[in-house]
């Protein structure tokens, strides 16, 4: 596991956090025993332990302003993050020790529940950031830049059309219309203006696909090869009706009279290739319906579909990787504000 391999980096913070918890618990128990009463947050140990926990929470909140000041090369990020993890986890036990091992009234209970949410969301984020990137590296060989998945998918669809055109000729008349993709670059939100000499031109950066399994991804179609016309019509029909709508699903395109974006989304949900197992079964039937000369084309189209499935998995993984941060950050800020109110009220009634 990643933590085990980097134990040396984490060890100092782990020992320090455990020492704070052990020292706080011992001091609170010792003071309560000598005072012959139950431990409370208003006792000297309770105040000191609570102050330490509050200081750690303040340190945790400094992680966000520190990101804005990263150009000043302050304390190395890896050490700051390790301290953020382990000292943050220590705030839960320290706050419970500070309270005298009870939740108290409504306000203090709210603080403890908020702290629990912050800790749980932090643990969730830490775990998935250790697990998901390794899973993606091993299971998503077609990974690309997440924000440019649509651009890469459109480019893949254009390449597939060219491949079918070279192999079988233009799409036969009477089949389902295909969207106009020729001008997609100028319509994409990622289009930028770049200078070429004295001229300004529109361009778009297409994220490279990280291919670690290249078998079957690229084939060269010899225009002199013998391809069956019936194979061509069948593959063009299935491509226009099933494959390309799935590859371009969710991408706002101009279909003219053919369909709309909403219809495109609904069609993709009912697609016979919407899962990997469905895709394998569907392409197996497509292979059986075509002659042996068309098999390389079918294999390439299957790879194109699998690429789109992996892009969808990548988007879900990215949402899990980054979606928790909004909840963690917002609850942390609310906790910080209520903690200040808690300190003010405690000082007022001491």
Q: What is the mean pLDDT of residues 114-139?
A: 92
Q: What is the pLDDT of residues 78-99, one digit of tens each?
A: 888 899 999 999 999 999 999 9
Q: What is the pLDDT of residue 30?
A: 93
Instruction: Provide, rounded to the nearest whole percent, the portion of the chain with pLDDT above 70.
Output: 77
Pairing mode, if any, of strands 192-196 and 199-203? antiparallel
Task: For 61-120, give the secondary structure using H, E and C.
Answer: HCHHHHHHCHHHCCCCHHHHHHHHHHHHHHHHHHHHHHCCCCCCCHHHHHHHHHHHHHHH
Cβ neighbours of residue 190 closer than 8 Å, sequence gap 6 or more: 147, 148, 151, 204, 205
Given a cut of 50, whether residue 204 has pLDDT beyond it is no
Q: What is the mean pLDDT of residues 153-170?
A: 91
Q: In the structure, what pLDDT confidence band is assigned to residue 253 with cuts at 50, 70 and 90?
A: low
Q: What is the pLDDT of residue 150?
A: 87
Q: Do 151 and 190 meet the contact criterion of CB atoms below 8 Å apart?
A: yes
d(CA 344, CA 349): 9
User: In the chain, what is the straight-line distance between the N-terminal and C-terminal CA atoms, in Å?
Assistant: 47
- Per 3-state DSSP, the chain is made up of helix, strand and coil in percentages (nearest 5) of 70, 5, 25
Q: What is the pLDDT of residues 301-338, one digit of tens each?
A: 999 999 999 999 999 999 998 889 999 999 999 999 99
The mean pLDDT of the chain is: 82
Q: What is the mean pLDDT of residues 177-203?
A: 59
Beta bridge pairs of residue 167: none
Given a cut of 70, whether residue 295 has pLDDT beyond it is yes
pTM exceeding the 0.75 threshold for the entire prediction: no
Q: Do 51 and 342 meet the contact criterion of CB atoms below 8 Å apart?
A: no
Given a cut of 60, whether residue 211 has pLDDT beyond it is no
Nearest to 212 by CA among 144, 278, 159: 144
């Amino acid at each position: 596991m990643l933590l085990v391999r980097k134990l040396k980096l984490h060890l100092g913070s782990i020992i320090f956090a455990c020492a704070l918890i052990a020292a706080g618990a011992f001091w609170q128990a010792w003071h309560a025993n000598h005072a012959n009463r139950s431990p409370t947050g208003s006792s000297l140990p309770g105040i000191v332990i609570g102050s330490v926990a509050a200081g750690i929470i303040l340190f945790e909140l400094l992680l966000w302003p520190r990101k804005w000041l990263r150009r000043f090369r302050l304390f190395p990020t890896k050490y700051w993050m390790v301290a953020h993890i382990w000292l943050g986890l220590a705030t839960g036990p320290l706050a419970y020790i500070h309270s005298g091992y009870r939740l108290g009234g409504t306000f203090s209970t709210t603080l403890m529940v908020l702290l629990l949410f912050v800790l749980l969301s932090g643990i969730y984020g830490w775990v998935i950031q250790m697990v998901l990137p390794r899973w993606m590296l091993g299971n998503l060989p077609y990974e690309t830049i997440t924000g440019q998945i649509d651009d890469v998918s459109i480019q893949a669809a254009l390449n597939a059309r060219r491949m079918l055109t070279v192999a079988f000729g233009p799409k036969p008349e009477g089949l389902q219309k295909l969207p106009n993709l020729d001008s997609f670059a100028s319509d994409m939100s990622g289009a930028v203006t770049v200078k070429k000499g004295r001229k300004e031109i529109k361009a778009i950066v297409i994220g490279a696909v990280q291919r670690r399994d290249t078998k079957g991804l690229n084939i060269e179609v010899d225009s002199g090869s013998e391809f069956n016309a019936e194979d061509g019509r069948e593959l063009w029909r299935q491509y226009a009706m099933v494959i390309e709508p799935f590859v371009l699903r969710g991408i706002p395109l101009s279909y003219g009279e053919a369909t709309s974006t909403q219809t495109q989304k609904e069609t993709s949900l009912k697609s016979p290739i919407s899962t990997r197992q469905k895709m394998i079964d569907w392409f197996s039937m497509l292979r059986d319906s075509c002659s042996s000369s068309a098999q390389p084309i079918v294999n390439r189209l299957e790879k194109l579909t699998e690429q789109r499935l992996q892009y969808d998995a990548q988007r879900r993984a990215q949402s899990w990787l980054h979606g928790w941060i909004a909840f963690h950050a917002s609850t942390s800020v609310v906790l910080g504000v209520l903690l200040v109110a808690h300190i003010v009220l405690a000082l007022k009634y001491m």
